[in-house]
Amino acid sequence: KAKRDKSHHHLSSVNMSFSSFSSQEFCNGLGLDTAGEVSQLEVRQMLGNIEDIRDYHKKVMLPKMEKAMDNAQLMRILFETEQPRLSRKYGRYCINNTRSSIIINQNIKFFSLYQFNKGLMLRVDGMLIKPIQRLTRYHMFLNSISKTCKELGFMEASKDFAAACDSILSAASHTNTMMWIGKMENCPLDLSGQGQLLKHGQVLTRSLAGSAKKGKKWSTSLQKPSSCHLFLFQQTVVLCRTSENCEEQNNPHLYYAGHISVNQVRVRDTVGEDQNTFEVHKLENVKVSVMAEPNTSEGKSEGKSETKSGVIMRLECQSEEDKDDWVRAINNEVKQLRSMARTLSSQFIMII
C-alpha cells in the first residue's frame, strides 16, 4: 500500500504541473483583439492552432490522464491512441513556427511594448514555445513515472508507462520534422494548411526547363541530377532542392522548387528501362498550381478517361522498392480525394 501511495502521489504531483500550465495566459495576453501595427490576420497567423492545442489538452488529454492516474495500462492506451492526434496538432503548430517568428521579428518593438503594458512575464516568442515544450513535459512525466514504478517493484506498470513514453517520442520526432519543413525557403504555400504529412524522402531529379521550347522530347541522359527532397501532404506534393546544413547534418537546407495539388496528379510508374524512376504528371484539363515550368507530353490516362497530361517531375529513387512505395502512397491519396469528391458531388445532386 505504501508503494502504491508513493507512486500515486508522484503521478498526481506531475500531472498537476500539466493542469497548472495553460496557453490561456498567452491567448488572454495577446488575444485576437490586438490593434495598431499588427493586424488581426497577422496575429492569427502567428498563433497558428495554439487555441486548438489548449482546448485539446484541457478537454481531452487532462481529463483522460486524471482517469488513468491509478491505471498504467489505461495511461499506455491513452497515449498510444492519441499519438496520431498529438502528432497532427503539434506538427501543424511546429510547421507554422517559422512564419510566427517572421511576424514577431518584423514587429518586435510593438510586441515588446505590448508585453510591458500588459505586464506579461514572458516575451512573445517565449510564450509561443510553450506548446512545444509540453511534449517534452509529457516525456519527462512518463519517463519519471516509469522509473519510479520500476524502483518500487511495479514492473508491469513501468513497462506500460515506458510504452506510453515511446508514443510521445514518436510524436516529438514528427514535430521536429515539421519544424524543419517549416524552415523551407521561398515557399509560396501555407504549409500548415496542406494537411497531414504522409511521406517524405530524398530523390534525384533533373530540370524540365527549356525542353519544350526546343520542340524536342525531354531527355535526361546528359543532364546532371539534382539532389532533392519530396514531401507528400494530404493535399499537395512539394519538391525542394537541398543543400548541406553544417549545424544539422540530418536536416539539409530546403529550397522550394515546385508543387502540385494531389487532385491534379497522375503518376507514371516506370520510365523506360529505369525501374527506380517515376513521373508526376499534371492533368491538362485542371488549372495549374505548380510553380515549376512543365514540359508537355502526350501521355494519356489509364482507364476510360482520355485526358492528356504534362510531365511535372521525373523523380529517381534510391531503389525500386522505394519508388514503389512513393507511387503507392501518392496513388492512394489521389484515390481518396477523388472518392471524396464523387461522394460530395452525389450528395449535392441529391439535394438539388
Confidence band for 348, pLDDT divided at 50, 70 and 90: low
pTM above 0.85, yes or no: no
Nearest C-alpha neighbor of 7 from the set 125, 137, 136, 161: 161
Instruction: Give the model's confidence band at 39: pLDDT under 50 very low, under 70 low, under 90 confident, else very high.
Output: confident
pLDDT of residue 225: 80
For residue range 148-181, list pLDDT tens digits in order: 999 989 999 999 999 999 999 999 999 999 999 9
Whether 152 and 137 have beta carbons less than 8 Å apart is answered as: no
Q: Using the predicted structure, report yes or no on whether residue 115 has a pLDDT greater than 50.
A: yes
Identify the three-state secondary structure at position 1: coil
Comparing CA positions, the residue from 344, 324, 342 lying closest to residue 332 is 324
Beta bridge partners of 295: 311
Mean pLDDT score of the chain: 79
User: Does 32 score more than 50 pLDDT?
Assistant: no
Compute the distance between CA of residue 250 and CA of residue 201 in angstroms, rounded to an integer.
12
Q: What is the mean pLDDT of residues 207-230?
A: 58
CA distance 233 to 242: 19
pLDDT in tens, 171-217: 999 999 999 999 999 999 999 999 999 999 999 986 665 444 333 33
Q: What is the pLDDT of residue 350?
A: 62
Percent of the chain with pLDDT over 70: 74
Q: Which residue has the higher pLDDT, 294 or 78?
A: 78
Cell numbers that stand for 23 in this block: 496557453
Q: What is the pLDDT, as a whole number, of residue 340?
A: 79
pLDDT band of 66, cuts 50, 70, 90? confident
How far apart CA 165 and CA 162 sit, in angstroms, is 5
Would you state the pLDDT for residue 331?
94
DSSP SS3 for 279: strand
270-288 pLDDT tens trace: 777 778 899 999 886 544 3
